[in-house]
């Protein structure tokens, strides 16, 4: 069963990384720069 109230381990790790400033990208100067980063 999937609980919508508690994040799973993958989500918790992503949240921790974001709070610690890890694996963040941007800001981007244009939509094209964002698209290039997404294609990398």
In the prediction, which pLDDT does 35 show? 94
Give the end-to-end CA distance of the chain in Å, rounded to a whole number.
Answer: 35
Q: What is the mean pLDDT of residues 10-29?
A: 93
Phi, psi of 23 (to 5 degrees): 55, 40
Residue 13 forms part of a structural domain: yes
Q: Which has more pLDDT, 23 or 30?
A: 30
Confidence (pTM): 0.55
Residue 28 forms part of a structural domain: yes
SS3 content of the chain, % helix, strand, coil (to 5): 50, 0, 50
Residue 4 forms part of a structural domain: no
Residue 2 forms part of a structural domain: no
Residue 3 forms part of a structural domain: no
Q: Please count the structural domains in the chain.
A: 1
Residue 30 forms part of a structural domain: yes
Q: What is the mean pLDDT of residues 12-37?
A: 93
The residue assigned the tokens 């100067």 is 29
Domain of residue 33 covers 9-39
């Amino acid at each position: 069963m999937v609980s919508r109230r508690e994040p799973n381990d993958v989500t918790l790790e992503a949240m921790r990384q974001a709070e610690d400033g890890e694996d963040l990208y941007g800001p981007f100067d244009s939509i094209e720069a964002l698209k290039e980063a997404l294609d990398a």
